[in-house]
């Protein structure tokens, strides 16, 4: 066995689970004659090309970490083959499993109104850590959000300023007034989140976006805001709107098009 499993488990749990950092856990899963001792060894590569741990051969670590950064870009686990020189004249081939470990995604719902209730349920069902924030205790409470992982009854600005928002955080802004929406956006726009959506009519959305632009926020960040929020599924009821929102979140997370599968590509002959 490759040493003490507690060591790599500690490292992986800390980075991926606790700090919510995406990583490529590279494991030697196969080796030709002479390199069997490497099987089971691990290295955890990050997007910036740095890595933790070692597969036991220095230049192999470098190549694997390099490929790991690539695998992280594509977010696709795969097996790679590497030729290693064990000693001058003796080569072996090792199979390395590049496993993309994605942190649990977080759904941060800003505003605990009537759409937030079904949205929290859907998010929880889909494996998100659900956090609900509203400054009104009457809305932000456990009774309304039994499935949420955290319900915060606190000031929007003060809470969001320090709240850890990472590349695994999907933020849905559905407060009761555009002044709160703006306040939330100001604090979230510069964070690395892959998704920020905001509810509102095109007119209300325009007001908010113009305000932010006038304040000097980066235009490409403003343009990336999903507002009006959600996929077009003709939603009317709060539950349907929540479904349209969570569908858009999943679409962004998984890289889908949001189109009906039946309407993609060539029509099926029949």
Partner 1 sequence: MPASGDLNQILREARRRVGAGERVALATIVQTRGSTPREVGAKMLVFEDGLFMGTVGGGCGEADVLQATLDAIESGSPCMLHVDLTADEAEESGDVCGGVMDVFIEPLASPTAR
37 binds partner 1 (CB under 8 A): no
Min separation Cβ 243 and partner 1, Å? 19
Rounded Cα distance between 109 and 241, Å, is 14
Helix axes 178-188, 202-214, angle to 10 degrees: 50
235 binds partner 1 (CB under 8 A): no
Instruction: Return the number of the residue (25 or 174) whose C-beta is nearest partner 1.
Output: 25
123 binds partner 1 (CB under 8 A): no
Q: Which two tokens stand for residue 241?
A: 């709107």
Tell me if 105 contacts partner 1 by CB under 8 A.
yes
* Sequence-ordered alpha helix ranges (H) in 128-201: 156-162, 178-188
Q: Which residues in 102-192 belong to E strands, given as ranges?
A: 106-110, 129-134, 150-153, 169-173
- Enumerate residues 5-34 that contact partner 1 by CB under 8 A: 5-7, 9-10, 12-13, 16-17, 27, 29-30
- Choose which of 69, 86, 92, 100 interacts with partner 1 (CB under 8 A): 100
**Shortest distance in whole angstroms from residue 35 CB to partner 1:** 13
Q: How far is the CB of 97 from partner 1 (least distance, A)?
A: 4
Cβ proximity of 245 and 115 under 8 Å? yes
Kindly state the smallest distance separating residue 146's Cβ from partner 1, in Å. 17
Q: 171 in the Ramachandran plot: left (φ > 0), alpha (ψ -120 to 50) or beta?
A: beta
CB 75 within 8 A of CB 101: no
Question: Site for partner 1 (CB under 8 A): which residue of 69, 86, 92, 101?
Answer: 101
Q: Would you say 192 or 234 has its CB closer to partner 1? A: 192
Rounded CA separation 224/183 (Å): 17
- 104 makes contact with partner 1 (CB under 8 A): yes
Site string for partner 1, 38-67 (x = CB under 8 A): -xx---------------------------
């Amino acid at each position: 066995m490759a040493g003490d499993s507690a060591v790599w488990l500690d490292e992986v749990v800390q980075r991926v689970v606790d700090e919510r950092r995406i990583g490529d856990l590279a494991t030697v899963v196969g080796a030709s004659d002479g390199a069997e001792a490497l099987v089971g060894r691990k290295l955890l590569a990050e997007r910036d090309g740095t890595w933790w741990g070692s597969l036991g051969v220095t230049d192999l670590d470098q190549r694997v970490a390099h490929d790991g950064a690539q695998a992280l870009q594509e977010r696709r686990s795969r097996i790679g083959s590497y030729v290693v020189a064990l000693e001058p004249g003796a080569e072996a081939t090792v199979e390395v499993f590049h496993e993309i470990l994605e942190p649990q995604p977080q759904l941060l719902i800003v505003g605990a109104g009537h759409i937030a209730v079904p949205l929290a349920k859907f998010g929880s069902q889909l494996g998100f850590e659900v956090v609900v924030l509203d400054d009104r205790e009457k809305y932000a409470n456990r009774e309304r959000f039994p499935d949420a992982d955290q319900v915060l009854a606190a000031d929007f600005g003060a809470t969001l300023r320090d709240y850890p928002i990472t590349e695994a955080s999907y933020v849905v802004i559905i407060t009761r007034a555009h002044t709160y929406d703006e306040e939330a956006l100001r604090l979230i726009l510069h964070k690395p989140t892959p998704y920020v959506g905001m509810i509102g009519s095109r007119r209300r959305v325009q007001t908010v976006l113009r305000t932010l632009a006038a304040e000097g926020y980066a235009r490409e960040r403003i343009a990336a805001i999903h507002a009006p929020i959600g996929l077009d599924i003709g939603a009317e009821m709060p539950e349907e709107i929540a479904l349209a929102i969570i569908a858009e979140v999943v679409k962004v997370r998984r890289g889908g098009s949001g189109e009906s599968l039946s309407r993609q590509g060539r029509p099926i002959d029949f």
